[in-house]
Amino acid sequence: MSETLSLGNNGRSLDASYDENKEMEAEPSQIDWKSIIKPLSLIVGGFLLIFFLPMESGRFTNAVIESLALAKWYAQEHVLLCLVPAFFIAGAVAVFVSQGAVMKYLGAGANKVLSYGVASVSGSVLAVCSCTILPLFAGIWKRGAGLGPAIAFLYSGPAINVLAIILTARILGPEIGAARAVGAIIFSIVIGLFMHLMFRKEEEAKAAAAMHMPEPEVERPLWQTTLLFAVMVGLLVSATWGKPEQAGGFWSAVFAVKWLLAGGFAALLGILMVRWMRVRLYKLIVAIAAVLMPAVLLPQHPLIAFSVGLVAFVSLLTTTRGETETWFTASWDFAKQILPLLLAGVLVAGLLLGQPGSEGLIPSAWISGLVGGNSFWANLFASVVGAFMYFATLTEVPILQGLIGAGMGKGPALALLLAGPALSLPNMLVIRSVLGTKKTAVFVLLVVVMATISGLIFGHFF
């Protein structure tokens, strides 16, 4: 009789099979659960979200419509006129502004009075919204600006808006207009200084590294770079000039010729590109002719001519070798980083809060009921709602006019004015991609806390 019992016809013993099974159990699993759990969670979460969508709820379906409507309005009114020009300005900062110049005026080791003064002034002259400022902020940050001055620039761009402050004073009263102006200036500097102090070790390391950097070569005189940026900012401001509330006067006259001004700045930009960037003259002539056709034939649809102008400008950049190609590449890098986050944030903001004058998932009656009087919670709630809600340039004034009419206190109104224009949910998402979660959370918290305190003080006296 055999000493081992065979299994079937293969002649393998029970001992051999047992040993083989032990070896297989000892081997590590070939399934990498870490790489599976995250996508599996997203798939399951997405499935459950869709499975339990409350389509029978009228408020939910209306909120979805409001979200899409807000995204459509944002795409029509802000992407072409505000964001795309801002991307090209940010790309120009990355290409034409030397890192040495940024470090000299806005760097971590620069004179504080000079750096914060330059940051607040340069941000305030743009008169842009909380999203349009983002490409410009990302541009100076990547060129070596210190955290404090960069944050001061980020806040001051949408908050210290001369037109918005004038409109606030005329519609909501001179007291709240003056308080908004003073508060916004103080906020930009104080928040920037706080951010610098809270992350001073990183700033000191950044300043020390900058001292050992070689002096960059400057290809173009300072006056040429200054003129180039002045023309681009002029184009951005003129194209986004809003219609005044009251007819007549200087602002209405500027609005009446805004597209002529925008066309003039665009033509001047093309001339500068021919003179300084080796763009061929015949290409510029073809681009101008392409823009003039829809401008003359369809004057009631200026966005068509503006869109053709953007395509023509891109063709000028990409068909000319050298720094124009680098300019386009830098602008595209900012666009692909920022645009998806902005649009996602706009959709979420529209879903929760709706468009100005309409409702999302959160009823407006809740908001107006929570911001009456001048309590701490009313000011805090106004600050938080303002921080997450998206305000286009100048739209915060008529919105607040309606809320004040519904019983909103003046303190919470100021708190929302100081937190709202400078922040939004889309804005936060992009800032996080540039600065990281920790710095973004601190920045948002500082804005909300200071806006709440300012509202309490203002509401106490007025």
Q: Check: CB of residue 159 under 8 Å from CB of residue 130.
A: no
What is the three-class DSSP state of 372? strand
How far apart (Å, rounded) are the C-alpha atoms in residues 160 and 181?
A: 7
Transcribe 150-166 into DSSP letters: HHHHHHHHHHS-HHHHH
**Residue 91, SS3?**
helix
23-28 contact pairs (CB < 8 A, 24+):
none
CB-based contact 434:186 (threshold 8 Å) = no
Residue with tokens 């093309």: 270
Does pTM top 0.85 for this prediction? no
Q: Model confidence over 208-236: pLDDT tens digits? A: 665 555 555 556 777 888 899 899 988 98
Instruction: Report pLDDT for 4.
Output: 46
* Pairwise CA distance, residues 64 & 60, whole Å: 6
Task: Tell me which long-range contacts 1-5 makes (C-beta under 8 A, separation of at least 24).
Answer: none
Rounded to 5°, the CA angle 399-404-409 comes to 125
Instruction: Note the pLDDT tens digit of each residue in 169-203.
Output: 777 788 888 888 888 888 888 998 898 888 888 87
Q: What is the pLDDT of residues 2-58, one digit of tens each?
A: 444 444 445 455 555 555 555 555 555 567 777 788 888 889 988 898 888 888 888
